């Protein structure tokens, strides 16, 4: 992709400090103090987006979901999971917790890497950790939590074999009223626009669909649309309904999966029924189906 662009199109190591609408165009102020003016700025700068602040005036910052995820990864070649399990993801549910054990990596057992993701309700405000800084102390905490929650020994064994841990406080956005500024010079894609809890595995998928959709609609300016603003409205009209629905359902699924007390009992029965009737697969597939074509 990079090779397909003129070399001056890609710039690296230029942190964005602020994005501002200037009526007929938008200005980016970089962290080094430089300022540049653009016809259109599309913010793909993640959950703490600077471009989003220019669109909503800083009115809708990310919110903490009350769920913390501790990730652990083994070194490649670890034998913490049996070869027969490497193509299977295991999930376990407990009172106020949910966990996943899965294997990734390249071809061959020597390249396989096992992972745990322990999701627990935790009302203390947890850092988003968007930079994915490793946290060695999380290992002891994760193993203790897994024991406390009654997770199986096979999962604890994988956690014990992990040598890198990451502690993430799950954050999300509320649905944004408008995805672009009034003038149509700043718009948003991906987490900048609609960060969602990861419980349907849809954040990156939706970001890619946004990118394809906005590019497609902008390519119609001069044909179907007279102005960029009209194209941005069409993009929002196509992408807002499906992403808003997934934002709500991923919050609901996260709360249900990590539910405590009576919620966990309800969850166990509901998930058993939903799995047996094939509903779980449909919910996950429905979120994953591409929805970026058609005109608003």
Ligand X SMILES: Cc1cc2nc3c(=O)[nH]c(=O)nc-3n(C[C@H](O)[C@H](O)[C@H](O)COP(=O)(O)OP(=O)(O)OC[C@H]3O[C@@H](n4cnc5c(N)ncnc54)[C@H](O)[C@@H]3O)c2cc1C
Q: Which is nearer to ligand X, 97 or 207 (CB)?
A: 207
Q: CB 62 → ligand X: shortest distance, Å? A: 11
Nearest to 249 by CA among 202, 295, 210: 202
Q: Which is nearer to ligand X, 169 or 259 (CB)?
A: 169
The residues that touch ligand X, with contacts defined as CB under 6 A, are: 15-16, 44-46, 50, 69, 168, 190-192, 198, 201-205, 207
The two counts, helices (H) then strands (E), for the chain are: 8, 10
Q: CB 165 → ligand X: shortest distance, Å? A: 13
Residues whose CB is less than 8 angstroms from the CB of residue 29 and which lie 6 or more positions away in sequence, other chains included: 16, 17, 18, 19, 20, 35
- Contact between 296 and 236 under an 8 Å Cβ cutoff? The reply is yes
Q: Which is nearer to ligand X, 14 or 220 (CB)?
A: 14
Distance CA 94, CA 265 (A): 9
Q: CB 149 → ligand X: shortest distance, Å? A: 19
Q: Which is nearer to ligand X, 184 or 190 (CB)?
A: 190
Q: CB 48 → ligand X: shortest distance, Å? A: 6
- Contact between 126 and 183 under an 8 Å Cβ cutoff? The reply is no
Count of CB atoms situated within 10 Å of the CB of 136: 9
Q: CB 202 → ligand X: shortest distance, Å? A: 5
Q: Which is nearer to ligand X, 122 or 191 (CB)?
A: 191
């Amino acid at each position: 992709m990079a090779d397909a662009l003129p070399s001056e199109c890609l710039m690296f190591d230029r942190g964005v400090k602020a994005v501002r609408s200037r009526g007929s165009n938008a200005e980016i102020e970089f962290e080094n103090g430089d300022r540049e003016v653009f016809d259109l700025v599309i913010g793909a700068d993640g959950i703490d987006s600077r471009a989003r602040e220019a669109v909503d005036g800083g009115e809708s910052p990310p919110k903490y979901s009350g769920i913390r995820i501790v990730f652990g990864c083994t070194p490649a070649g670890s034998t913490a999971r049996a070869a027969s399990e490497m193509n299977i993801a295991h999930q376990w549910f407990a009172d106020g917790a949910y966990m996943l054990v899965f294997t990734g990596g390249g071809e061959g057992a020597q390249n396989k890497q096992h992972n745990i993701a322990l999701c627990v309700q935790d009302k203390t405000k947890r850092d988003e950790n968007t930079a994915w800084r490793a946290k060695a102390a999380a290992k002891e905490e994760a193993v203790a939590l897994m024991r406390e929650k009654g997770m199986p020994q096979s999962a604890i064994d994988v956690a014990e074999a992990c040598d890198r841990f990451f502690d993430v406080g799950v954050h999300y956005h509320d649905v944004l009223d408008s995805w672009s500024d009034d003038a149509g010079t700043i718009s948003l894609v991906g987490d900048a626009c609609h960060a969602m809890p990861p419980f349907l595995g849809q954040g990156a998928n939706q970001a890619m669909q946004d990118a394809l959709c906005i590019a497609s609609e902008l390519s119609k300016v001069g044909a179907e649309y007279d102005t960029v603003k009209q194209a941005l409205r069409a993009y929002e009209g196509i992408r807002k309904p499906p992403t808003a629905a997934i934002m709500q359902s991923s919050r609901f699924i996260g709360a249900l999966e990590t539910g405590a007390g009576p919620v966990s009992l309800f969850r166990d029965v509901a998930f058993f029924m939903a799995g047996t009737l094939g509903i779980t697969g449909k919910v996950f597939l429905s979120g994953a189906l591409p929805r970026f074509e058609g005109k608003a």
